[in-house]
Amino acid sequence: MLWTLLKLLLFVLVVAGLTLGGAWLLEQPGGAVIAVGGWEATLTPLQGVVLLALLLLVLWVLLKLLGVMGALVRFLNGDDTALSRHFSRNRRRKGMQELTEAALLLASGRPAEAQARAEAARRHLDWPELTHLILAQSAEAAGDRTRAAEMWALLAAHDGSRLAGLRGLLRQKLAEGDDATALRLAERAFALDPDNREIQDTLLRLQAESHDWAGARRTLAAQRRSGSLPRDLHRRRDAVLALGQAAEVMAEGATVEAREAAIEANRLSPDLVPAAVMAARSHIARGEGRQAARILRKAWEAQPHPDLAAAFAEIVPEESPAERVRRFRALTELRADHPETRMLRAELLIAAEQFEEARLALGDLPEREPTGRSLTLMAAIARGRGEDEAAVRGWLTRALAAPRGPQWVCEACGRIHAAWTPVCENCHAFDTLSWTSPPAEARLPGGAELLPLLVDRAAAPPAPDGSLPVVADPSAPVETPPRPDVEPVR
């Protein structure tokens, strides 16, 4: 309010001053004479002032016109002018509006319309990082993989957006199943951002899948340095990679390097069953039975497993069944109540024809946790104790329908594997296999083939010295060869 009054007062003063000045000029004598050729004009002081003001106004208009003409010439030459800046502001405003609409349409689940808006925004905006990103995302969501790949490649060609472009191309190649190209892209992305956990995990999986064990171990070390991986998990995964490296080296015939890698894997993770088995067999090949037994006992104490028992049997391969029962006490006394320990002791006692002790070793396992293996052992015990064929067939019938027990199961996809591998054969996840019972099990394939082993004497005649046929292990996958630690009864 006060400011309005001040402006009004100032206006009144200006008008009053102009009025007084005009009146004063009218009262002044004399004037000005303008002569041009034969023409002359006499002006009063007031007229002279008005003419001067008009001349200044005309001069100002001429200068403005000359400025506009100069700006037009510069605009036509491509120079930066007020006119070009005006058009640029309009284009930028329109481009930002179209880009905003594209982002909103993409978030609303309308990728085709978002792609069209993004294309228009790209024409109006000189902001390639943002427009290419929105355009790549909308094209990808619309299913236009070719256009999306072009945009991701353009992003990858610039320093500021290279990582985003590489990640987009990496996702595309993974979706297409082109793991070789995806591996190269992951390596480039990892070089730009080694602390990115998503890139670390992707690169590690691809390297493990391609059996690049050395590269995978370097990636794993980077995960540990960045703090994205706990120490214990790092040691286990490093052991898994060392074990994969050992298996590959052994397949190539370099047994010395394979043994060293296996021993290193066992040192990193003593409870990893495949590492313990390979390390123990490496010591057995050197004649170091005590070291092998120590490794197997430590692994058995962590997790009893049939492969550990098989490797323990290889330490003294020529011993008699009774001697094997005595030597295996060093193993069976550990985790004595574990189902695997009970079944192992029962197998050893069956091989030694100590059927009553074998039945005691099983305890209530066939009723509490029935599996094809434990019920088959019960059939062998019933046969050895001289029970009638109906009892033996009853146990076998139950064994055919019983669960197979623990197996190597992928925790990511549930795929059952015949043997342990660092990478799942189905979903290609790294270090996801665990020795556990599948959540849902089907009837044992080929289970009827067990019947001749214990029932049909014509199919499996007894040995000349009266020994029983070999008892098959139904808990092992179909592809798995017979266990080396199960021998005919002598």
Specify the pLDDT at position 185: 96
- Name the pTM for this structure: 0.68
Is 489's pLDDT higher than 70?
no
Domain housing 122: 89-158
Is residue 402 included in any domain, yes or no? no
In the structure, what pLDDT confidence band is assigned to residue 440 with cuts at 50, 70 and 90? low
* Beta carbons of 460 and 292 less than 8 angstroms apart: no
In this structure, which amino acid lies at residue 69?
M
Instruction: Give me the phi and psi of 487, to 5 degrees please.
Output: -125, 160
Is residue 29 included in any domain, yes or no? no
Q: For tokens 């427009």, what's the residue?
A: 131
Helix axes 339-351, 355-362, angle to 10 degrees: 170
3-state helix, strand, coil in the chain (%, to 5): 65, 5, 30
Is 93's pLDDT higher than 60?
yes
Q: Who has greater pLDDT, 466 or 238?
A: 238
Specify the pLDDT at position 337: 92
Is residue 403 included in any domain, yes or no? no
d(CA 408, CA 421): 9
Is residue 112 included in any domain, yes or no? yes
Specify the pLDDT at position 476: 41
pLDDT (tens digit per residue) in 254-309 = 677 777 888 888 888 888 999 999 999 989 988 999 999 999 999 999 999 999 99
In the structure, what pLDDT confidence band is assigned to residue 467 with cuts at 50, 70 and 90? very low
Is residue 184 included in any domain, yes or no? no
List, as one string, the DSSP characters of 287-334: T-HHHHHHHHHHHHHH---HHHHHHHHHTSTT--HHHHHHHTHHHHTT
d(CA 435, CA 408): 5
Is residue 195 included in any domain, yes or no? no
**Which sign, positive or negative, has the C-alpha torsion 203, 208, 214, 219?**
positive
d(CA 483, CA 348): 13
- Please give the share of the chain, as a percent, with pLDDT higher than 90: 53
Is residue 33 included in any domain, yes or no? no
How many domains does the chain fold into? 1
Is residue 9 included in any domain, yes or no? no
What's the token pair of residue 121?
Answer: 């925004």
132 Cβ contact partners less than 8 Å away, ≥ 6 residues apart: 122, 151, 154, 155, 161
Task: State the chain's maximal CA–CA distance in angstroms.
Answer: 158
What's the token pair of residue 411?
Answer: 């925790």
Vertex 397 angle, CA 441 and 386, to 5°: 135
